[in-house]
Structure 1
């Protein structure tokens, strides 16, 4: 699949007159269209709701757009709960899925009516003490253990993950005990949640996960008398970071889940169970670019292009070796006849956006669009080497560009150092 940037060289040249590189920019039109397509894919389920994973892109302007498209929020910390609350997102529009959670976060989640998703059976008495009661509506997180695999290709398994090594969720026996306990403690509405694999490029992942959870839901009903009101398929539906991969088809995924729903839940008298998703990467990643400028070139044992962004702006290539496609703006149709390492300025050799990447000839001053940074891009930023967080911009549907987070300043960086300016 061809990777085409949603901004042109000419647009960027105008933008940098006001907002210098590097910056993250998001495409409002693409975000809205994708949210509507997801809703269409699950329109067969009358209670369907997407709870956007705030951790992926915690910017209020972005979350407001998604909320306007009918999405709730999935939160995992106090800050994410407060962000949602400030935007007027409360009650059943929030799922609070966290682990090793402080009691004040459970208490605040309950105060604003969020649905608490329990990560462990020991959290039942913890939540009761923190909130003064067991909430009437509550969810439990399931971990099936073992190794999860799905399908094979010439390269090996399409999806392979190891839930047994994950710190999240309860065993099946714990889950059954938890629902029975919660029912006895006065809970009235129950849900289930699970996350088995990350960034799957397979239309079969959600249906396979759904079959596991739907079958377990029937067993829970039979063994505990608890009938689930909702099942949260969590995240894991990924994107095609490299152009040689075929992206997921969310409409096919929705149809696959519907088929399993009708095979497993409907015959068990559970045809009113609401389906939730908790997508972050799928919702936002393709609709964000990191725009950076080539400022240095180096010719040693390899050919290097140094840009004004670094791993502080986009951590994934440095820590995971993750591929992010790069377009040299204005040279989209030029031959890929040069091989570069594209690097940032950090004092770490892993600070590279690309290694041995075939690209057009890059000249000092060229602008590069690093693709698929709309999720887990800015959100994972940090201040190593004293590098500052970049601005975030929004390309509106009408073509206007809006600043939705200013760039961090040196004064911001030093602001939390108590008494610093008194001693320098």
Structure 2
């Protein structure tokens, strides 16, 4: 399926006149439509809740848009809890799933009324000591050996640091039952960026079987199950998006066969997708600064790993559009690079593209999740602005670009020789 842009060349040129590249821009209308499609796929469920993974796109404007569509927040740190609160997401619309968690973050989650999802059986005593035991609790399940080939991001569950084993799960619910917990949930996350829809149905079957077993062995009725996220997106043009209706109906069938048939209806269904909600509807816009011909042909952008590190971290593919040259033949081969002093600072390697010239505008697709969020300041690079493309075609600045002054703000010494003008100028 061809990769399309939500704006024309002339529209993008107008945006760049006001907001210099590089920047990330998100398509609000497409994000809303996609969120509604996910919710519609589970309209059969007694209750369905999507907790958006804040780590994917940690911007309160995006979170507010999702809240308006009925979506909550999956948080794993105090700043993420605060971002959710800024967006008006509160109480049990927040699921706090963290690991190696400091006491003050548990305390904040408890104060906010978030659902606390514990990552280890030893955390029961830690939670009780620092915050007391809440009336509602959830545990994260790690099934151990499960996947034949693993997953490029999570890997093999048995090698992951997350969650409780099956025997620990039974013991954890026994302990919490004795401590007076009234409401129980369960959670898992065993795959990431997966395009095979049957994997998600398989996860549901696994969790429904476990819920039945918990009831039989411990006498605890699980009230909600969170299948995690993991729904991938078609980064490559030849890939197909996950059929959400197929997934929803497959899970419905498993629900009827295992939950309803065992008298455990109603069971609330939850997910915590991040990537598939916003990922396809974010774009990194950059400008070609340099061309270099040595042993290979290189194109150097004003963006770098600071703006998008997935290709360097995972070897991930992100489609590239050279704006205005969409119809030209892909008869040139380039490495598309950034400016870090690291040789893996590349957005594409040996990519077939149209001829590229200095000054060309480049759009890197599918950066709406784990794009800006994974930015950093190595090499003194500054993080870019984030923009929102509104349904009416207007553009809002939802996060300004960092400035040199921001970079030095945490130091106890002044930035010697740095003029005021330089300190407030963003690095592009």
The aligned residue for residue 138 of structure 2 is 139
The aligned residue for residue 124 of structure 2 is 124
The aligned residue for residue 397 of structure 2 is 403
Q: Which moved more, 1:346-355 or 1:79-88?
A: 79-88
TM-score, normalized by length of structure 1?
A: 0.96
Separation of aligned partners in 2, 1:329 and 1:418: 44
The aligned residue for residue 373 of structure 1 is 367
Q: After TM superposition, give the deviation of residue 205 of structure 1 in Å.
A: 1.3
Separation of aligned partners in 2, 1:149 and 1:259: 25
Residues 1:19 and 2:19 are matched in the alignment: yes
Q: After TM superposition, give the deviation of residue 149 of structure 1 in Å.
A: 4.0
Separation of aligned partners in 1, 2:25 and 2:318: 15
Specify which of 236, 240, 243 is matched with residue 246 of structure 1.
240
Q: After TM superposition, give the deviation of residue 158 of structure 1 in Å.
A: 11
1:3-14 to structure 2, matched below 5 A, reads 3-14=3-14
Q: After TM superposition, give the deviation of residue 333 of structure 1 in Å.
A: 1.5
SS in 1 for 2:169: helix
SS in 1 for 2:66: helix
CA RMSD, 1 decimal = 1.6
Separation of aligned partners in 2, 1:366 and 1:423: 34
Specify which of 300, 305, 308 is matched with residue 311 of structure 1.
305
The aligned residue for residue 97 of structure 1 is 97
Separation of aligned partners in 2, 1:149 and 1:70: 36
Q: After TM superposition, give the deviation of residue 46 of structure 1 in Å.
A: 2.5
The aligned residue for residue 265 of structure 2 is 271
| Distance verdict in 2 for CA 1:157–1:108, change over 3 Å | closer
Q: Is the 2:300–2:336 contact (alpha carbons within 8 Å) kept by the matching residues of 1?
A: yes
Residues 1:67 and 2:67 are matched in the alignment: yes
1:150-169 to structure 2, matched below 5 A, reads 161-169=155-163
Residues 1:331 and 2:325 are matched in the alignment: yes
Residues 1:181 and 2:175 are matched in the alignment: yes
Q: Is the 2:51–2:93 contact (alpha carbons within 8 Å) kept by the matching residues of 1?
A: yes
Structure 2: tracts of 5 or more residues without a match: 419-428
Q: Is the 2:292–2:298 contact (alpha carbons within 8 Å) kept by the matching residues of 1?
A: yes
Separation of aligned partners in 1, 2:319 and 2:343: 20
The aligned residue for residue 153 of structure 1 is none
Q: Is the 2:287–2:302 contact (alpha carbons within 8 Å) kept by the matching residues of 1?
A: yes
SS in 2 for 1:385: helix
Q: After TM superposition, give the deviation of residue 263 of structure 1 in Å.
A: 1.1
1:77-96 to structure 2, matched below 5 A, reads 77-96=77-96
Specify which of 340, 343, 359 is matched with residue 337 of structure 2.
343
